[in-house]
Structure formats: structure tokens, C-alpha cells
Amino acid sequence: MRQLASPQVAMDFFEHIREDINTVFERDPAARSRLEVFLCYPGLWAVWYHRLSHALWTLKLTLLARIVSQIARFFTGVDIHPAALLGRRLFIDHATGVVIGETAIVGSDVTIYQGVTLGGTGKGQGKRHPTVCDGVFIGNNANVLGDITVGQNSRVGAGSVVLSDVPPNSTVVGVPAHIVYRGGQRVLITDPHDIKDPLSDALIALAARVEELEKYSIGLNQRKLHTEPFAAEEAERSAYREELDRLRDYVSMGEGI
Ligand SMILES: CC(C)(COP(=O)(O)OP(=O)(O)OC[C@H]1O[C@@H](n2cnc3c(N)ncnc32)[C@H](O)[C@@H]1OP(=O)(O)O)[C@@H](O)C(=O)NCCC(=O)NCCS
């Protein structure tokens, strides 16, 4: 039985490696050949190291698994906890600085750039890292924090900090991240209540005050129009009279010369 299983395992192993290399070749326009991908993509090596460390982790060889993941970190700059669950065809581009926490789950066909953290918020135990669904793209130096879900085929902008669930087929950007595209449609924030930011309360108060002042100013203008219907014309006429008087003085001075 074991003899029968071995060739299959070996085939799966090489099949996965071929699939990983093809994935990078298809997604990175800078890749010139499959040999180059095999030799020069530390993000790929990180995924392969993780397969080994994860296998050791599931065999309860936890210390050995951690050692392998630290060796991987040394050589690739990618720190993936051995318990993290990674799907197929994960592409970690540029590798350096990527951190994937213990309870993170990453689906298939996910692309992650350098500096991305799939981390915890520092609060709580148990499932405390994100779930990233299939086809997600995460731009460089983005932080996705806590037990949240990034929905299928969504995109996280470079440098964003994602603190809440992202619906499928959406694009989120900013700190903290907010949705700018959903289902291909641009999402514009017009209500300050929709801004999730430490300054939100101040913005909401400011918007309310501006609205109040606008109403007050409209009321004032209407009252003035009502009580003095010809005020504007009268002001124009008196300005004209003053100008005429000034010119008359000037002309009378000229007559004496
Ligand atoms: C998020 C991203 C995928 C969106 O791309 P897109 O669909 O072309 O989006 P747009 O350029 O139309 O941007 C939509 C809005 O979000 C803003 N925005 C886009 N990316 C942003 C980011 N990373 N941070 C903050 N705001 C961002 C834009 O300024 C624009 O706002 P505006 O319309 O008010 O000016 C892209 O901007 C991004 O961040 N890609 C990551 C690239 C990366 O990591 N490269 C690493 C190479 S080594």
C-alpha cells in the first residue's frame, strides 16, 4: 500500500511545483523563463517551505515545523506560521516582509505583494487572523488585521489597513480601508457617517454645523428679500448718486484753473 502511495505522492509534489511555477510565469510580466522563476522567486520558495513546515505541524512535530518556518524566513524574508492554511497557486511577489499568522486562511489564486501582514489585532485568542478568499489581490505593505474575511476576487490597495470584512468583488483602500469599487461600480462616500476613521466624529460634527449655517444663511436671505424687496436696486441707485456727486466736485475744481 505504501509502495503504491509513494509514486502518487511524488507525482503530486512535482505537479504542485509545476503549477506554482506556471502561476508566477502567468501573473508576473517580468518573468522571462520558468527556470528563472524556479531560481529567482523567494516568494515561491516561501510557499514550498511552508508546505514542509505545515506537514510537520500536522504530524505534531511543532518545534521542527517552527524551525523550518524560521529557516524559510531567513532565506526568503517571508514569515508564515506553520499552522496557517494556504490554498493553491498562491503568488507572493517580491517576498520580503510578508507575515502570515497562525490562524490565517488563504484561498486559491491569491496574490500578495511585499510587506503584507495577515495578522492579529493583539486582542483575543483562537481564530484571530484573517480569512482571504479565492482570487484576492493584496497590494504591497497592506495590513489585514483580525478575524475578518476578504471576499472572493476583492482587491486591497497598497498601504491599506483593513479592519473589517471586505465584500466579494470589491476594492478597498486607505487607513482604515474603505470601499472604492463594488461589483465594478465606483463607490463614493457622500455621508460622513460612512467614514470609518478616528476623525469621523469631528467630521460628522463639522458637516452638521455647516448644514446648520447653510440653513440659517438661506433663511436670512429670504427674510431680507421679503422685508426689503427692492433693497438691491436702491443700494445700486445710491452708489450711482454718490459717484455723480464726487464727479461734480472734480469738475467744479477744474473750472477755476
Ligand atoms: C487598489 C488598486 C488595485 C486600485 O486600482 P484601480 O482599480 O485602478 O483604482 P483607481 O486608480 O481608480 O483608484 C480609485 C480611488 O482609490 C484611490 N486609491 C487607489 N489606490 C489607493 C491606495 N493604495 N491607497 C489610497 N488610495 C488609493 C485613488 O486615488 C482613487 O481615488 P479618487 O478617485 O478619489 O482619486 C491600486 O491602486 C493598488 O493599490 N494596487 C497595488 C499595487 C501594488 O501593490 N504594487 C506593488 C508593485 S511592487
Three-class HEC string of the chain? CHHHHHHHHHHHHHHHHHHHHHHHHHHCCCCCCHHHHHHHCHHHHHHHHHHHHHHHHHCCCHHHHHHHHHHHHHHHCCEECCCCEECCCCEEECCCCCEECCCCEECCCCEEECCCEEECCCCCCCCCCCEECCCCEECCCCEEECCCEECCCCEECCCCEECCCECCCEEEECCCCEEEEECCEECCCCCHHHCCCCCHHHHHHHHHHHHHHHHHHHHHHHHHHHHCCCHHHHHHHHHHHHHHHHHHHHHHHHHCC
Model confidence at 10, in pLDDT bands (50, 70, 90)? low
Tell me the best of 180, 182, 186, 188 to mutate to test the pocket of ligand 1, counting ligand atoms within 8 Å of each CB and taking the most: 180
Rounded mean pLDDT of 105-119?
98
Question: Whose C-alpha lies nearest to ligand 1, atom 10?
Answer: 180
- Mean pLDDT over all residues of the chain? 90
Model confidence at 8, in pLDDT bands (50, 70, 90)? low
Model confidence at 58, in pLDDT bands (50, 70, 90)? very high
Whether the predicted model's global pTM rises above the 0.85 cut:
no
| C-alpha span between 105 and 81 (Å, rounded) | 11
Query: 123 CA distance to ligand 1 centroid (A)?
Result: 30
Model confidence at 210, in pLDDT bands (50, 70, 90)? very high
Model confidence at 3, in pLDDT bands (50, 70, 90)? very low
How many Cβ atoms from other residues are within 10 Å of residue 215's Cβ? 10
| Residue 62 reports pLDDT greater than 50 | yes
Atom of ligand 1 nearest to the CA of 114: 48
Q: Are 189 and 171 in contact (CB under 8 A)?
A: no
| C-alpha span between 131 and 149 (Å, rounded) | 5
- Pocket (CB within 6 angstroms of ligand 1): 94, 113, 139-140, 155, 157-160, 171, 173-174, 180
| C-alpha span between 199 and 170 (Å, rounded) | 24
| C-alpha span between 181 and 111 (Å, rounded) | 19
| C-alpha span between 41 and 80 (Å, rounded) | 16
Model confidence at 207, in pLDDT bands (50, 70, 90)? confident
Tell me the best of 28, 136, 154, 173 to mutate to test the pocket of ligand 1, counting ligand atoms within 8 Å of each CB and taking the most: 173
| C-alpha span between 145 and 128 (Å, rounded) | 8
Rounded mean pLDDT of 20-42?
95
Query: 141 CA distance to ligand 1 centroid (A)?
Result: 13
C-alpha grid cell, residue 152? 472572493
Query: 139 CA distance to ligand 1 centroid (A)?
Result: 9
Rounded mean pLDDT of 111-129?
93
Rounded mean pLDDT of 222-231?
73
Is the model more confident about 185 or about 244? 185
Please report, rounded to a whole number, the percentage of residues in the chain having pLDDT higher than 90.
Answer: 67
Please tell me the predicted confidence (pLDDT) of residue 254.
53
Please tell me the predicted confidence (pLDDT) of residue 4.
43
